[in-house]
């Protein structure tokens, strides 16, 4: 009797956890469906391509072109990735391959702390430090006179925000590379850097792409910090010193205001749907790659 009860309790617990797992996945589908449903009014009168590829944003005249905001998001995210990826990967290489155990154990909580700082704090830091630096130092160095609120400011702030994510995942990927491969390379006369470059990095290549993908998805969907330093001008940037207006900032700035304008709500919901789908795709692909790497190393 006692054994039957344990088996029954185990089955019930397993089914319950399966239900929770399926429910969490279905929640994403429900969110996407809700956004699509709220976006249908604008899609009923304007083709999707006309909304996504038009740079005409004049809600009072019924023009809801999202292209400047999509490009603003891409510019800021690309700047953040270009800044963060090399520094993060080098930091992960150092922590995984060169740092003493004491340094590695001390750095781990610091990386987690950086990942847990609220985005508004990063935004304030960007306003107080990065924006004046670009306005007074970096811009004049390149012969550009700008306000400092720019793609570059958003990219620098986002780079600092996504660096802990990339460092953490990359370090885990490096740790998953078998120690025997390093020892075999060193035994053949290779230096430590040659071992890292030709053995560790090559073995961990797919995992590093996944780490970058997770960082990209975090940067693409970030709202508050970018809203505070990017400038929020609805036009396509032509350089990193130009202001940008990313999709998350558009939604945060305007949702709840002027929704009496026809199709305004639907346009913002369509922007949110595009944002959700892009972030979801990059997260899913990155997770699949990491799962396959873990399965291959078992």
pLDDT given at position 3: 73
Element (H, E) at 252: helix 247-254
Task: Give me the mean pLDDT over the 16-33 stretch.
Answer: 82
pLDDT of residue 283: 80
Q: Is the pLDDT of residue 156 over 90?
A: yes
* CA gap 40, 34 in Å, rounded: 10
Percent of the chain with pLDDT over 70: 96
Mean pLDDT of the chain: 87
What percent of the chain lies above the pLDDT cut of 90? 34
What CATH number matches the domain at 68-296, 1.10.3720.10, 2.40.160.20, 3.40.190.10, 3.40.50.11890?
Answer: 1.10.3720.10
Q: Find all residues with CB under 8 Å of 235, minimum gap 6, and list them.
A: 55, 68, 242, 245
More confident residue, 159 or 203: 159
Confidence of residue 101 (pLDDT cuts 50, 70, 90): confident
pTM, two decimal places:
0.86
pLDDT at 289: 74
pLDDT digits (tens, 9 = 90+) for 34-75: 999 999 999 988 888 889 988 888 888 888 999 999 999 999
Number of H helices, E strands in the chain: 15, 2
The domain spans of the chain are 2-49, 68-296
- Going by the DSSP 8-state scheme, the letter that residue 298 receives in this structure is -
CB 147 within 8 A of CB 249: no
DSSP per position, 137-167: IIHHHTT----S-SHHHHHHHHHHHHHHHHH
Contact between 41 and 266 under an 8 Å Cβ cutoff? The reply is yes
Identify the burial level of 253 via C-beta atoms within 10 angstroms of its C-beta, where 0-12 means exposed, 13-18 middle and 19 or more buried.
Answer: middle
């Amino acid at each position: 009797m006692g054994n039957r009860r344990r088996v029954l309790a185990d089955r019930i617990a397993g089914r319950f956890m399966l239900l929770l797992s399926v429910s969490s996945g279905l929640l994403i589908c429900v969110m996407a469906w809700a956004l699509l449903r709220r976006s249908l009014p604008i899609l009923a009168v304007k083709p999707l391509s006309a909304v996504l590829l038009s740079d005409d944003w004049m809600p009072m005249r019924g023009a809801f072109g999202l292209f400047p905001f999509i490009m603003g998001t891409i510019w800021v995210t690309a700047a953040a990735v270009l800044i963060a990826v090399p520094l993060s990967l080098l930091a992960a290489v150092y922590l995984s391959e060169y740092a003493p155990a004491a340094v590695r154990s001390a750095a781990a909580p610091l990386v987690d702390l950086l990942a847990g700082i609220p985005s508004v704090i990063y935004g304030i830091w960007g306003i107080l430090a990065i924006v004046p630096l670009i306005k007074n130092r970096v811009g004049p160095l390149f012969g550009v006179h700008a306000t400092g609120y720019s793609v570059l400011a958003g990219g620098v702030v986002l780079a600092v925000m996504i660096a802990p994510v990339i460092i953490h995942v990359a370090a885990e990927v490096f740790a998953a590379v078998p120690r025997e491969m390093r020892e075999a390379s060193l035994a053949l006369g290779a230096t430590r850097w040659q071992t890292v470059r030709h053995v560790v990095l090559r073995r961990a290549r797919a995992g590093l792409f996944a780490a970058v993908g997770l960082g990209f998805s975090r940067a693409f969907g970030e709202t508050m910090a970018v809203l505070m330093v990017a400038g929020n001008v609805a036009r396509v940037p032509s350089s990193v010193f130009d202001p940008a207006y990313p999709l998350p900032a558009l939604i945060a700035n305007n949702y709840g205001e002027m929704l009496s304008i026809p199709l305004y709500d639907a346009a913002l919901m369509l922007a949110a749907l595009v944002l959700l789908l892009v972030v979801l795709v990059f997260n899913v692909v990155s997770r699949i790659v990491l799962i396959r790497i873990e399965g291959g190393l078992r």
